[in-house]
Amino acid sequence: MLEFGRGAMRQMSTGMIRRLINYWPPFLFSGIRVIGIADDWRWVEAELRLRWWNRNAVGTMFGGSLFAMTDPFYPLMLQHNLGRDYTVWTKSAAVEFLSPGRTVARVSFRLSAEVLHEIRAATEVGKKCEPEFSGVISDPEGSLIAKVHLTLYVRKRVAAKPRQKGTPTTLGKNSGQATVSPFLIRAEKSSLAR
């Protein structure tokens, strides 16, 4: 049986995950490639080559593609290292474009054990943590193309407390009945009429 999702990704090799990410449509059609992923998911490197389909109006790399190259990796790295008990997503991002990308743009991401320890400590009792990460996009000669600053949202999922008998629910305001939208009822009736 073929399995998808986070559980399946934990069972795949980093080489297989790298290939799958490279075929993910937002990366594939932007020309973004993941060059390498460390087995412990604490290092990822990606590149963007200038192609006719990722050029902007003045013939250099489209800024949206440069940003897209940086967006998913810190959340993926944290999710893999923290595990299923954590919710991780990008809360905000800022890009400072320093020079035009004319050939190849590369970015490298690193995640230290200290940062992971700090995040685990900050989220231990279900509180949110908003760690900040920075990245530098450069060309093969080392010239800076852009700086990226990401703020992530991280929270440890806590088990839901069992409800006490007689406690109001969100479904039926003490009645135990689910509240159904009139729109859903109309949609159901119209699909039955066909």
Domains parsed from the chain with CATH numbers: 6-160 (3.10.129.10)
Give, in degrees to the nearest 5, the angle at Cα 43 between 6 and 115. Answer: 85
What is the pLDDT averaged over residues 114-138?
95
What is the pLDDT averaged over residues 52-68?
94
Burial of 149 (0-12, 13-18, 19+ CB in 10 A): middle
CA-based torsion, 156, 128, 70, 140: positive or negative: negative
How many CA atoms lie less than 13 Å away from 163 in the CB half-sphere? 8
With a CB cutoff of 8 Å and minimum separation 6, the contacts of 89 are: 75, 152, 153
Question: Is residue 123 over pLDDT 80?
Answer: yes
Give, in degrees to the nearest 5, the angle at Cα 19 between 131 and 63. Answer: 55
Q: How confident is the model at residue 165 (pLDDT cuts 50, 70, 90)?
A: low
CA-based torsion, 166, 167, 173, 176: positive or negative: negative
**pLDDT at 13 (0 to 100):** 86
Question: Is residue 22 over pLDDT 50?
Answer: yes
